[in-house]
Amino acid sequence: MKKPTNLIAQNLTTLRQFHKYSQEEVAEKTGVTRQAVAKWEAGETIPDILNCDALAELYHVSVDDLIHFNQEEEHMPIPPKGKHLFGTVTVGERGQVVLPKKARDLFHIKPGDLLVVLGDENPESAGIALIAGDTILRNITFLQDMLHSGEKEEDV
């Protein structure tokens, strides 16, 4: 397991490069010197809590992920704040998938829970989403709006 200092250094370097910022730009945006940013990324020092908050805000990640996310263990980069990538699942012969435990725990999904499966065929946003059934049933207009969002006004 990596030391927290190394995790922070790796995460700061990866996030800066992903956002295509120079160390100087990060320094400007967070109100520190370029040397401070360089030392954080080299693991020589660590940012204080206020700087961690500013960096997390700059990169749109949670402070917890900035400090603790282990990219090597997770085999993926830090996700944006509030977004999750739980890994991959294999579809069985009859279409069954097993949701990762982390996802079930985070969203309190238990055996027997009703999930609504939504799909989008638009090439720019194609995908499948699962939403808790009680969420949809409480707000059926959300589902109607979502289903009709791609239609032209005259088609409705």
Closest CA to 45 of 54, 57, 33: 33
pLDDT for the residue 104: 92
Residue-level pLDDT, tens digit, the chain, 156 residues: 556 568 999 999 999 999 999 999 999 999 999 999 999 999 999 999 999 999 999 999 999 999 999 988 887 788 888 887 787 889 999 999 999 998 999 899 999 998 988 888 988 888 988 888 777 666 666 656 766 766 555 444
Write the single-letter amino acid at 81.
K
Q: What is the pLDDT of residue 42?
A: 96
Give the type of residue at 150.
Answer: G
d(CA 146, CA 144): 5
What is the token pair recorded at 115?
A: 């999930």
- What pLDDT does 156 receive? 43
CB 97 within 8 A of CB 91: yes
pLDDT of residue 111: 92
